[in-house]
């Protein structure tokens, strides 16, 4: 099991990186950080291009699903280490399924939390690397 304690409670902010001491984090960058901590490829630089091209208001909602379809395999059910695309927040949000059958994601009220898998409002993907 990886340690995610330093992420718990961080609030959502466009392009905020974990560890930048802002107290904020972006859901895409959180998902790439968790993926990296699990021992997989670090997709951070792949994702950073979007923060250079867009801001929170101009980011097209279709980019996240298209990026996942290009870089991952869609799963029929959640499994450990899968990236979760959750509906909501206008364009969706990313989380990650952990080893203990819970997931880490950004809750609107509480910031980053670890909780039960939200499968009824989520699509799951296994990243290619």
Q: Which domains does the chain have, with CATH numbers?
A: 11-127 (3.90.1720)
Could you tell me how many residues make up the chain? 129
Mean of pLDDT over the chain: 91
pLDDT digits (tens, 9 = 90+) for 42-78: 999 999 999 999 998 898 888 999 999 999 999 999 9
- In the block, tokens 């997709």 appear at 43
Average pLDDT of the segment spanning 26-52: 94
Residue 101 CA to residue 47 CA, distance in Å, equals 26
Which residue, 102, 103, 80, 84, is CA-closest to 93?
84
pLDDT digits (tens, 9 = 90+) for 85-99: 998 655 678 999 999
Q: Is 63 exposed, middle or buried (0-12, 13-18, 19+ CB in 10 A)?
A: middle
């Amino acid at each position: 099991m990886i340690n995610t304690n330093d992420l718990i409670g961080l609030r959502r902010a466009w392009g905020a990186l974990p560890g930048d001491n802002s107290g904020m984090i972006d859901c895409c960058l959180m998902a790439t950080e968790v993926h990296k901590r699990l021992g997989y490829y670090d997709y951070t630089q792949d994702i950073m291009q979007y923060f250079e091209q867009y801001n929170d208001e101009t980011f097209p909602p279709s980019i996240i699903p298209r990026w996942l379809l290009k870089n991952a395999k869609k799963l029929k059910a959640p499994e450990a280490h899968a990236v979760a695309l959750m509906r909501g927040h206008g364009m969706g949000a990313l989380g990650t399924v952990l080893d203990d059958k819970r997931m880490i994601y950004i809750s609107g009220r509480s910031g980053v939390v670890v909780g039960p898998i939200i499968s009824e409002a989520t699509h799951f993907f296994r990243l290619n690397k």
